[in-house]
Homo-oligomer: A and B are copies of this chain.
Amino acid sequence: MAGSSFGTIFRITTWGETHGAGVGVVVDGCPAGLALCEEDIQEYLDRRKPGQSRYTTQRKEGDKVSILSGVFEGKTTGTPISMVVYNENQRSKDYSNIMDIYRPGHADYTYDMKYGFRDYRGGGRSSGRETIGRVAAGAVAAKLLKELGIHISSYAKVIAGIGICQQNFDEKEIWKNPFYMPDADAAAKVQERAEQAMKELDSVGGIIECVITGVKPGIGDPAFDKLSAQLGKAVLSIGAVKGFEIGDGFGTAFARGSQNNDEFAMKDGEITKITNHSGGVLGGISDGSPIIFRAAVKPTPSIARTQNTVNKDGQDVEIKIRGRHDPMIVPRAVVVVESMAAITILDGILKNMSATLENVKKIYE
């Protein structure tokens, strides 16, 4: 079944395997007239590319994007935008140690069960490289959102058990440490823990937080297409994400209604919320407060230790995964989360355009 598309009006379709010819995305439904060039995309891709620090894989890949269609004279034309990153790392390698073996924590086994066989080179479609298409599309969405006054900030909130301290929060710091953490102290501690884990041939997990400001009230649909549900799907569809929460999230389970309800109040002639336990979404629709959500990211399953597993012939075997792997997924996933958020919010805004007859008349007449 087709499952490589996301979004309704702003709709993306990704394709590609990590060791095939390349990976890419087709963005269909982008409004015409947005100034766009390859540099806009590259800036986002560079945030997820390998080799940025010793805490991400040391593979060397330029991940240079090409726009193949949908942009003319520097502007989107309204027709599909096809973008591709050709794989440099395509050389024929020796996969004999993994082609028949099911790596723990990976999708090898499940792909074989579903499709009967799989592209075993580097994880094939289930590799993190699949997210390149998401980030390229996210860059387009984020650029358009900027034109509407919407800003998305995402960062590591927790890595290896070390969380940021809200008092130390400094957005500029995000860009200064290899972990995309807005707290220099926390980042330093993460570095220690990471070194320790690497020494022990192990990997660590974490939590990414995303804050979206500038979203007006009214975005998102009742019932199944609640903005929170769409964001949840967007983020949970990223390979290593195992949890999603919005606003107070799992904390609401322990709260009283009187604590969790956000009271409304007039402020400078505007309706505002005094608190933001809701995370910017009420009844599935944006309430004008910043949208805040978190994603739990599991530790990299590729670890250098010897692990027990089985092969496809049904024999118990040991596996030792070779090659250079990220000791943590979080830093490179930060921009992926941000991209999926941008795509979801933009799609929500476009879907909301026809919410009222008044809006319809504003465009049609």
Contacts and interface: CB of A to CB of B under 8 A. Distances in A.
A113 B310 contact: no
A245 B325 CA distance: 26
Interface in A101-115: 102, 104-107, 109-111, 113-115
A20 B303 CA distance: 44
Interface in A202-256: 202-207, 216-226, 228-230, 232-234, 236-237, 239, 241-256
Number of copies: 4
A20 B264 contact: no
A364 B226 contact: no
A299 B33 contact: no
A300 interface: yes
Given A105-B282, A236-B229, A301-B261, A243 B242 contact: no
B77 A115 contact: yes
A68 B77 CA distance: 25
A308 interface: yes
Interface in A1-43: 1-11, 13-17, 20-24, 26, 28-29, 31-34
Interface residues of A, number: 168
The 8 closest A-B pairs by CB, nearest first: A107-B283, A3-B221, A3-B225, A243-B245, A2-B29, A203-B257, A110-B285, A2-B11
A297 interface: yes
- Which residue, A13, A14, A241, has most C-beta atoms of chain B within 10 A? A13
A353 to B, nearest CB: 5
B144 A252 contact: no
Contacts of A260: 105, 205, 298-299, 301
Contacts of A204: 255-257
A79 B15 contact: yes
Contacts of A314: 266, 269, 271
Given A28-B13, A285-B113, A252 B2 contact: no
A309 B263 contact: yes
Contacts of A98: none
Given A2-B10, A72-B119, A262-B105, A33 B77 contact: no
Given A11-B2, A283-B107, A242 B233 contact: no
Contacts of A315: 266
A253 B157 CA distance: 10
A63 interface: no
Nearest to A197: B256
A344 to B, nearest CB: 11
B15 A69 contact: yes
A359 interface: yes
A102 B265 CA distance: 10
Interface stretch (A50-58, A123-131, A165-173, A174-182): A123-131
A364 B148 contact: yes
A70 interface: yes
A147 B283 CA distance: 30
Given A28-B3, A363-B363, A265 B11 contact: no
A4 B357 contact: no
